[in-house]
Amino acid sequence: MLGLLLRAPGCGSSDASSADFGEPASANAPEDEGKGGGDAPPPANDAAAPSASFQGNPLCHVTPASVCTPDDDGTRKRVQACATPYDADAGVTTSKGCRLTASGGEVAPSCEPDTSFAGTDGVACSRGSDCAPGFDCVDGDKGQVCRRYCCADTCEGKESQSGGKTFCDVQKLAFVPTKAPVCLPLKGCKLLTVGQCATSETCAVVNDAGDTGCVEIGQAQINDSCDTEHCAAGLTCIGQPGTRKCYQLCKVGSSTCPSPLTCKTTTSFRDPAYGICQKTTSMD
């Protein structure tokens, strides 16, 4: 997954409650000690996890003082901050949506006008205001399209334009100089299998349910952070939101992991035949 994915890279949070924008936060941390190239990240409910000033994915720049949350699509209470006021002079209701904007070198969520409410997943756009509340215009492989924000690190129940599953991944916004977590259509694949994805993609774990999908190949290597960047080919992004790192994928029972690491599956994998390279503990 952003990846995202991999497990969607870029989808992180500061603590267990801060990412709650009306949807559950996610974690996808391995249950075993150790990881490919180091120690495993702490479990999602680790009370000692580091705290940050941002809520949810740090790319969304949401703080307790923010006027709105980009995930707001009209179904959450905080969307009231971007309510649609009636313009008495014009005799119309001016619609607004929450999306990331840049001003003076700072990126932050703000209530912005919407020229159309038709711009949902996959609809072509020329600017962010072409997209409905909860969506923004991003650069896609086939041009600029509207994608749903997933600052709270989940796309559960959010279907793509074709009605299929989506997963949370990091993509470049079309008209704001930053990346943001958005829900992308899930293209299923089998881990460590050649030809399942495009040459610019790799197959990785993309959500807490253990789904696997094709994600963009990035530059992040083993042990590198993947909260805002994609991992390299053959790696996957796993860990507590805000502290996710790249792991080497492997098949349990194989000898592909560098010594002294071994291939161990975790609850992040739906198929227990696959796992990540981790340290062998004294209990093994």
Name beta bridge partners: 148: 135
Written as six digits, the tokens of 107 are 């990126």
- Report helix, strand or coil for 128: helix
In angstroms, the Cα distances linking 117 to 74, 144, 155, 228 are 11, 17, 20, 29
pLDDT band of 81, cuts 50, 70, 90? low
Please tell me the least confidently modeled range out of 32-46, 47-61, 225-239, 260-274.
32-46
Residue 69 scores a pLDDT above 60: yes
In whole angstroms, give the CA distance from residue 183 to residue 78: 20
The burial class, CB within 10 Å (0-12 / 13-18 / 19+), for 280 is middle
Residue 82 scores a pLDDT above 80: no
Residue 212 zone, left/alpha/beta (φ > 0; ψ -120 to 50; rest): beta
Do 184 and 2 touch, CB atoms closer than 8 A?
Answer: no
Model pTM greater than 0.95?
Answer: no
Q: How do 235-238 and 245-251 pair as beta strands?
A: antiparallel
In whole angstroms, give the CA distance from residue 21 to residue 98: 13
Do 229 and 217 touch, CB atoms closer than 8 A?
Answer: no
Do 182 and 139 touch, CB atoms closer than 8 A?
Answer: no
Name beta bridge partners: 143: 140, 141
Written as six digits, the tokens of 129 are 């205001």
DSSP output for 216-281: E--SB-BTSB-SSSPBPTTEEEESSTTS-EEEEEEETT-S-SPTTEEEE--TT-SSTTEEEEEEPP
In whole angstroms, give the CA distance from residue 233 to residue 249: 9
Percent of the chain with pLDDT over 90: 39
Q: How do 92-93 and 86-87 pair as beta strands?
A: antiparallel
Written as six digits, the tokens of 16 are 């267990």
Model pLDDT for residues 111-164, shown as the tens digit of each residue = 887 655 568 899 999 888 888 889 999 998 879 999 999 998 889 889 999 899
Please report the pLDDT score of residue 193 as a whole number.
93
Q: What are the boundaries of each domain within the chain?
A: 58-247
Alpha helices per DSSP H over the chain: none
Average pLDDT over residues 178-187: 94
Q: What CA dihedral angle connects 269, 270, 274 and 277, to 10 degrees? A: 10
Written as six digits, the tokens of 143 are 């041009």
Model pLDDT for residues 238-284, shown as the tens digit of each residue = 877 678 899 999 999 988 898 889 999 998 899 999 999 998 764 44
